[in-house]
Amino acid sequence: AAGVIQSPRHLIKEKRETATLKCYPIPRHDTVYWYQQGPGQDPQFLISFYEKMQSDKGSIPDRFSAQQFSDYHSELNMSSLELGDSALYFCASSRPGQGGGDTQYFGPGTRLTVL
C-alpha cells in the first residue's frame, strides 16, 4: 500500500538559511498534518491543512509557513533557521470515512540539522 512520502529524508543547513520540506500524502487523503520532534522529545503538532486550507495551528514559529497544493501535497517552509530547529519533521495524512475517528498515517520524517 502507498504510504506518506517525505523529501528530503535528511537536510543539513546553516543558521539563518532557509529550508523547504515536502510531503506527499497517501492518494485520496485530503488532510495533511506537520509535527516536529526534537531530540528526546515527543512529536509536537505544528500545522494542518484540509482541502488546501489551513485547518489548525499549533506551536509553529512565525518563521515557518506551510501550504497545501492542488494535488494535496504540502510544503513546510522554514526561514532564518536556528540551532533549535534541528529536529525530525513528520508529515501525516488522513481522510474521512476510515472507520471512525481520524487515523493519521505518518511519513518516515525529514531529519533537519542546523549547524
Q: Which residues bind another protein (CB under 8 A)?
A: 4, 31, 33, 35, 42-45, 48, 50, 55-56, 58, 88, 90, 92, 94, 96, 100-109, 111
Minimum CB separation from another protein for residue 16, in Å?
26
User: From CA 110, how far away is CA 112, in angstroms rounded?
Assistant: 6
Closer by beta carbon to another protein, 19 or else 92: 92
Cβ at position 2, least distance to another protein in Å: 15
Cβ closest to another protein, residue 13 vs residue 111: 111
CB of 37 to another protein, least distance (A): 9
In 86-98, which positions are buried (b, 16+ CB within 10 angstroms) versus exposed (e)? bbbbbbbbbbeee
- Most distant CA atoms of the chain, gap in Å: 44
User: What are the residue ranges of helices labelled H in 15-95?
Assistant: none
Q: Do 36 and 57 touch, CB atoms closer than 8 A?
A: no
By C-beta, is 82 or 102 nearer to another protein?
102
